[in-house]
Structure 1
Amino acid sequence: MKKYFFTLKFLLSLLCFLISFSAIARPNFIIVLTDDMAVDEFRFMPRTQEYFAINGVRFTNAFVSQAMCCPSRSSILTGRYSINTGVKSNNFPTGGWHVFHELGLESETMAAKLQAGGYSTAYFGKFMNEYGLGNQIPHNYVPLGWSDWYAFVGSPSYFNYPLNENGVIKNYGNTPADYATDVLAKHALNHLNSALNKNSPFFMLISAYAPHSSTDEAIRPTVPVSAPRHKNLFNGIQAPRSASFNQADVSKKPFNVQSRPLLSPEDIDWIDLSFRLRIQSLRSVDEMVGKLIDKLKASPKFNETYIIFVSDNGFWFGDHRFKFGKGGLYDQSHRVPLAITGPNVQPGLVRDDLVVNTDLFPTVLNLAGVTVAPKNYDGRSIQPLLESNKRKTAFNRRSFLIETGQEGRMGIRFDSYAYYETLQTTRTIKELYDTKLDPDQVYNIVDQLTVTSATAISDALAQLRNCKAGTCRKLENTLTDDLVQLTN
Structure 2
Amino acid sequence: MKIFKISVLLVALSCGVTSNVWAQNKAAKRPNIVIIISDDHAFQAIGAYGNTMKPTPNIDRIAKEGVLFNKGYVTNSICGPSRAVILTGKYSHKNGFKDNENSHFDGSQDSFIKQLKVSGYSTAWIGKWHLESQPQGFDYWQILPGQGHYYNPDFQMMDGTKKRTEGYVSDIVEDVSENWLDNRDKEKPFCLVIGHKATHRTWIPDTQDMGKFDDVTFPLPHNFYDAYKNREAAKVQDMSISETMVMGYDLKVFKDEAAANKEGTISRMNAEQRKKFDDYYLPIAADFKARNLKGKELTEWKFQRYMRDYLSTAVSLDRNIGRTLDYLDKNNLTENTIVIYMSDQGFYLGEHGWFDKRFIYEESFRTPMVMRYPGVVKPGTVSNDLVMNLDIAPTMLDAAGVAIPKDEQGQSFLPLLKDKKAKGRDAIYYHYYENGEHAVSPHFGVRTKRYKLVRFYKRVRSWELYDLQKDPNEMHNLYGQKKYEKITAQMKLELNKLTDQYDDQDAKKILAED
Q: What do the CA deviations read for 1:104-159 (whole angstroms, capped 9, x no partner)? A: x544111111111100011111112434xxxxxxxxx4x22111111012331112
Contact 2:395 2:412 in 1 (8 A): yes
Report the alpha carbon displacement of residue 80 of structure 1 after superposing the two structures with TM: 1.2
Q: 1:148 aligns with which of 140, 152, 161?
A: 140
Aligned to 1:480: none
Contact 2:210 2:312 in 1 (8 A): yes
Letter in 1 for 2:225: N
Contact 1:182 1:288 in 2 (8 A): yes
Aligned to 1:17: 23
Report the alpha carbon displacement of residue 207 of structure 1 after superposing the two structures with TM: 0.7
Contact 1:244 1:441 in 2 (8 A): no
Letter in 2 for 1:436: Q
Q: What do the CA deviations read for 1:313-353 (whole angstroms, capped 9, x no partner)? A: 1112333343x221122111111111000131110111211
Report the alpha carbon displacement of residue 399 of structure 1 after superposing the two structures with TM: 0.7
Report the alpha carbon displacement of residue 396 of structure 1 after superposing the two structures with TM: 2.8
Aligned to 1:372: 404
Q: Note closer, same or farther for the CA distance 1:172–1:358 as it changes in structure 2 (3 Å cut).
A: same
Q: Note closer, same or farther for the CA distance 1:294–1:255 as it changes in structure 2 (3 Å cut).
A: closer
Letter in 1 for 2:146: G
Q: Note closer, same or farther for the CA distance 1:165–1:321 as it changes in structure 2 (3 Å cut).
A: same
Letter in 1 for 2:121: Y
Aligned to 1:329: 360
Q: 1:306 aligns with which of 338, 359, 363?
A: 338
Q: 1:91 aligns with which of 96, 101, 105?
A: 101
Contact 2:342 2:368 in 1 (8 A): yes
Letter in 2 for 1:416: R
Contact 1:257 1:320 in 2 (8 A): no
Aligned to 1:283: 315
**Separation in 1, partners of 2:125, 2:40:** 19
Q: What do the CA deviations read for 1:207-261 (whole angstroms, capped 9, x no partner)? A: 1000001xxxxxxxxx21111111121114355633432213x221024525779
Secondary structure, aligned partner of 1:300: coil
Secondary structure, aligned partner of 1:376: coil
* Alignment partner of 1:37 is 2:70: no
Q: Note closer, same or farther for the CA distance 1:394–1:243 as it changes in structure 2 (3 Å cut).
A: farther
Letter in 2 for 1:150: Q
Structure 2 residues without counterparts, runs of 5 or longer: 1-6, 48-53, 243-294, 435-440, 506-514
**Separation in 2, partners of 1:157, 1:467:** 40
Aligned to 1:436: 469
Give the count of matched residue pairs: 431
Aligned to 1:127: 129
**Separation in 2, partners of 1:63, 1:239:** 26
Q: 1:455 aligns with which of 478, 484, 489?
A: 489
Secondary structure, aligned partner of 1:403: strand
Q: 1:257 aligns with which of 232, 235, 239?
A: 235
Report the alpha carbon displacement of residue 19 of structure 1 after superposing the two structures with TM: 2.7
Letter in 2 for 1:443: H
**Separation in 1, partners of 2:234, 2:9:** 82
Aligned to 2:384: 352
Secondary structure, aligned partner of 1:268: helix
Once structures 1 and 2 are overlaid, which stretch shifts more, 357-366 or 299-308? Answer: 299-308
Q: Note closer, same or farther for the CA distance 1:58–1:457 as it changes in structure 2 (3 Å cut).
A: same
Aligned to 2:151: 159
> Sequence identity of aligned pairs in percent?
27
Q: TM-score, normalised by structure 1?
A: 0.82
**Separation in 2, partners of 1:164, 1:203:** 20
Letter in 2 for 1:434: D
Structure 1 residues without counterparts, runs of 5 or longer: 132-140, 214-222, 473-488
Q: Note closer, same or farther for the CA distance 1:149–1:12 as it changes in structure 2 (3 Å cut).
A: same
Contact 1:242 1:440 in 2 (8 A): no
Aligned to 1:232: 211
What does 1:377-456 align with in structure 2 at a 5 Å threshold? 377-388=408-419, 390=420, 393-405=421-433, 409-423=443-457, 428-446=461-479, 447-456=481-490
Aligned to 1:63: 73
Report the alpha carbon displacement of residue 81 of structure 1 after superposing the two structures with TM: 1.6
**Separation in 2, partners of 1:160, 1:401:** 39
Q: Note closer, same or farther for the CA distance 1:240–1:33 as it changes in structure 2 (3 Å cut).
A: farther
Report the alpha carbon displacement of residue 273 of structure 1 after superposing the two structures with TM: 1.5
Once structures 1 and 2 are overlaid, which stretch shifts more, 357-366 or 252-261? Answer: 252-261
**Separation in 1, partners of 2:313, 2:464:** 35
Larger radius of gyration: 2
**Separation in 2, partners of 1:152, 1:357:** 22
What does 1:152-301 align with in structure 2 at a 5 Å threshold? 152-172=144-164, 177-195=166-184, 198-213=186-201, 223-238=202-217, 241-248=220-227, 250-257=228-235, 263=242, 264-265=295-296, 266-301=298-333
Q: What do the CA deviations read for 1:429-481 (whole angstroms, capped 9, x no partner)? A: 22111212221111112225544443342243233234338x99xxxxxxxxx
Secondary structure, aligned partner of 2:433: coil
Once structures 1 and 2 are overlaid, which stretch shifts more, 351-360 or 312-321? Answer: 312-321
Contact 1:404 1:410 in 2 (8 A): yes
CA RMSD, Structure 1 to Structure 2 (Å): 2.5
Once structures 1 and 2 are overlaid, which stretch shifts more, 333-342 or 52-61? Answer: 52-61
**Separation in 2, partners of 1:408, 1:314:** 17
Secondary structure, aligned partner of 1:350: strand
Secondary structure, aligned partner of 1:310: strand
Letter in 2 for 1:109: S
**Separation in 2, partners of 1:232, 1:428:** 43
